[in-house]
Amino acid sequence: MALNTGWSRLEGERLVSSLHYANDKVTFNGREMSVPEFLGFAFGSVQNAGLLGQ
């Protein structure tokens, strides 16, 4: 599930994630985006996974 949603990536045999914030930009798993884009990704994937109880 983590790979399919973009919350992690596979490096060899390890599941890893990275998050960096600077200058109003978020770099998440190598993908650079604005803060609103990241929040949309985060809340959208949580909602689609059914983690909000809906």
- Per residue in 22-38, pLDDT tens? 999 999 999 999 999 99
What is the pLDDT averaged over residues 9-33?
93
Residue type for 38, please? F
Quote the tokens at residue 51: 């983690």
Kindly give, in sequence order, each residue whose CB lies less than 8 Å from that of residue 15, ignoring residues fewer than 6 positions away.
2, 3, 8, 9
* pTM of the shown model: 0.68
Quote the tokens at residue 21: 């914030």
Quote the tokens at residue 3: 């790979």
Gap between the Cα atoms of 23 and 15, Å rounded: 27
